[in-house]
Chains A and B, each alone.
Chain A
Amino acid sequence: MLLEYIAIGVMIALATVIAVIAIGLGELFGPKKRSSVKSEPYESGIAPIGPGTRRMPVRFYLIAVLFILFDIEVIFFLPWAVVFRQLGLFGLAEMAIFIVILLIGYIYAWKKGALEWE
């Protein structure tokens, strides 16, 4: 049981080592001729104006919140799907209630234009 996770842990370690080696190779063999123009942000050849990181539209925040809520819903679906054959009609009904309540929010979001990008 725990062994299966140790196997995954070993794999994570291996993958990290390989990624670090790959970056190390580039650092080791790549030429390094720095200049102030080279280390400017790349904006297709035009001199950059203003800071590189700036405030982002609130839209992304809303998408992230909606994602969390629906992600939790999907997570609830997973154990439900596993035991669905034992639960039968009862299981279908309880999940339907759960979803109907969430769908109210979904329709509200749609009507309010939260899913619109423009």
Chain B
Amino acid sequence: MDLALWIEFIIKGFILIFAVLTGFAYLTLYERRALARIQTRIGPNRAGPQGFFQPVADAVKLIFKEELTPAKADKVLFVLAPIMTVVPAMILAAVIPLGTQFTLPFLNRPVTLYVSDINVGVLYLTAIASIAVYGIVLAGWSSNNKYAMLGGLRSSAQMISYELSLGLCFVIAILLGNSMSLLDIVEAQKSVWFVVIQPVGALIFMVTTLAEVNRAPFDMPEAEQELAAGYHSEYSGMKFALFFMAEYEKMIVISMIAATLFFGGFREFWFLQGTVFSVDHFWWLGPIYLLLKVVVLLFLMIWVRATWPRIRYDRLMAFGWKVLLPLSLALVFITALGILLANQFGAIYIWTIPVLSILAGLIAVLLVNMSLRRKVAHA
């Protein structure tokens, strides 16, 4: 193991973290501007042209804020909790391929456009995502505040409940890509994106990730009418900023994962295949395509926040356990069956997957509708 390799790792890791951090800063601006537009406002536009320096101003403000620690708080864990929340959010992106590879000029050294391509990439994502729960539980517990504690417990219970459907959506992508390495999954989508084969799976993935990052309409921990500010009620200044950072970084990274698993990742759009706009032609197109897809997916998240009211907590848990879990389980088996049919009788049978999954999705919608009607009739 030589020095050059260490330098490469450090530079790549630093660039990736820096990219996600910049993304976080500008995502806050993007969200505020987009939300404002949806609500026919203008949004922050004073700091710099079009509010371009707003994130910088926010950061400076947060650094110079007074930080409060409640007297009865557990001092060590109170500081540790934001760190334990933000580190998983930052390292989650390590296995996501941003492109293929290029040769460094002058040094003649091939450089891959990902920090690490491990053959258990998908498992890495689930493992790190499940670690992220700690920060929130500990933040709630160490604050010694009823609202914070209840908010922390609620949001961790929500995260673990939706993690199951999330895991099953990962399984769908693995089945279709026939590998757990994210690079292989992207390469397997060269001809057709997995969202076309498994549209319902992609939809469930996006719904569960909303719950996983505690975003509207699943932003239970931040139900301010009930819980003040949830698990980070007692946090202020930079420690609060870290929680905020973790949420927005996770939004970005999870959009990257969604793009990688279901929308072709860094690959070009299917109609650009073989042209000059292909990733095989210019390596630097990879990150650009991925960025495009991520921006669109992030807009969907913001749009949802602007449109949907918050779901009641009991409904939210019931939706996760009683609807999404069985539905995603059914989708896994439909996908497996479709692959089997395609292997036996010819590639055309792969299209049984979208047909059957949309059918399953419709049945689920129908059943939910019926049960809700029954509940309304009883009440």
Interface positions of A (Cβ within 8 A of B): 3-8, 10-12, 14-16, 18-20, 22-23, 25-27, 29-33, 36, 38-44, 48, 51-54, 56, 60, 63-64, 66-67, 70-71, 74-75, 77-78, 80-82, 84-85, 88-89, 91-92, 95-96, 99, 106, 110, 115-118
Which residues of A lie under 8 Å from residue B95 when comparing CB positions?
8
The residue in chain A whose Cβ has the minimal distance to the Cβ of B127 is A75
Give 28 A-B contacts (CB < 8 Å), ordered by A residue: A5-B116, A7-B9, A8-B91, A8-B124, A11-B9, A15-B90, A23-B79, A26-B67, A30-B64, A38-B68, A39-B70, A40-B70, A41-B144, A41-B145, A42-B228, A43-B146, A43-B147, A43-B228, A63-B160, A74-B164, A74-B171, A75-B167, A78-B122, A81-B332, A91-B336, A92-B333, A95-B333, A115-B321
Contacts A81-B175, A85-B178; is A10 near B153 (CB within 8 Å)?
no
The residue in chain A whose Cβ has the minimal distance to the Cβ of B321 is A115
Number of A-B residue pairs, CB cutoff 8 Å, is: 221
The answer on a CB contact under 8 Å between A42 and B145 is: yes
**B132 near A: Cβ within 8 Å?**
no
The residue in chain A whose Cβ has the minimal distance to the Cβ of B336 is A92
The main secondary structure of chain A at its interface with chain B is helix
The answer on a CB contact under 8 Å between A115 and B318 is: yes
In the complex, how many angstroms separate the beta carbon of B367 from the nearest chain A beta carbon?
A: 13
In the complex, how many angstroms separate the beta carbon of A23 from the nearest chain B beta carbon?
A: 6
In the complex, how many angstroms separate the beta carbon of A60 from the nearest chain B beta carbon?
A: 5
The residue in chain A whose Cβ has the minimal distance to the Cβ of B173 is A81
In the complex, how many angstroms separate the beta carbon of A111 from the nearest chain B beta carbon?
A: 12
Give how many B residues have a beta carbon under 8 Å from the other chain's beta carbons. Answer: 89
The answer on a CB contact under 8 Å between B86 and A15 is: yes
A85 to B332 Cα, complex, angstroms: 14
Which residue of A39, A54, A91 has the most chain B CB atoms within 10 A of its CB atom? A39
The answer on a CB contact under 8 Å between B242 and A36 is: no
A86 to B12 Cα, complex, angstroms: 36
Which residue of A53, A54, A92 has the most chain B CB atoms within 10 A of its CB atom? A53
The answer on a CB contact under 8 Å between B116 and A64 is: no
Which residues of A lie under 8 Å from residue B153 when comparing CB positions?
56, 60
The answer on a CB contact under 8 Å between B178 and A82 is: yes
The answer on a CB contact under 8 Å between A12 and B115 is: no
The answer on a CB contact under 8 Å between B167 and A116 is: no
In the complex, how many angstroms separate the beta carbon of A10 from the nearest chain B beta carbon?
A: 4
The answer on a CB contact under 8 Å between B146 and A26 is: no
The answer on a CB contact under 8 Å between B13 and A63 is: no
Which residues of B lie under 8 Å from residue A99 when comparing CB positions?
329, 333
A118 to B21 Cα, complex, angstroms: 40
A43 to B136 Cα, complex, angstroms: 19
Contacts A40-B70, A41-B144; is A26 near B149 (CB within 8 Å)?
no
In the complex, how many angstroms separate the beta carbon of B182 from the nearest chain A beta carbon?
A: 12
The answer on a CB contact under 8 Å between B157 and A63 is: yes
The main secondary structure of chain B at its interface with chain A is helix
The answer on a CB contact under 8 Å between A19 and B336 is: no
The answer on a CB contact under 8 Å between B86 and A117 is: no
Interface residues of B in 166-213 (CB under 8 A from A): 167-168, 170-171, 174-175, 178-180
The answer on a CB contact under 8 Å between A30 and B63 is: yes
Contacts A22-B241, A31-B66, A42-B234; is A4 near B145 (CB within 8 Å)?
no
In the complex, how many angstroms separate the beta carbon of A74 from the nearest chain B beta carbon?
A: 4
Which residue of B14, B69, B174, B239 has the most chain A CB atoms within 10 A of its CB atom? B174
In the complex, how many angstroms separate the beta carbon of A97 from the nearest chain B beta carbon?
A: 12
The residue in chain B whose Cβ has the minimal distance to the Cβ of A13 is B13
The answer on a CB contact under 8 Å between A117 and B313 is: yes
**Candidates A15, A44, A48, A117; contact of B314 at CB < 8 Å:** A117
**B339 near A: Cβ within 8 Å?**
yes
In the complex, how many angstroms separate the beta carbon of B187 from the nearest chain A beta carbon?
A: 15
**Candidates A7, A32, A116; contact of B115 at CB < 8 Å:** A7
Q: 15 additional contacts, CB 8 Å, given A6-B1, A74-B126, A80-B171?
A: A5-B118, A8-B95, A10-B13, A11-B94, A15-B86, A19-B242, A26-B67, A30-B64, A41-B144, A52-B143, A52-B148, A64-B160, A82-B179, A96-B333, A117-B317
In the complex, how many angstroms separate the beta carbon of A89 from the nearest chain B beta carbon?
A: 6
The answer on a CB contact under 8 Å between B122 and A26 is: no
The residue in chain B whose Cβ has the minimal distance to the Cβ of A83 is B178
**B10 near A: Cβ within 8 Å?**
yes
A86 to B356 Cα, complex, angstroms: 23
The answer on a CB contact under 8 Å between B160 and A82 is: no
**Candidates B16, B82, B122, B325; contact of A11 at CB < 8 Å:** B16
A62 to B86 Cα, complex, angstroms: 28
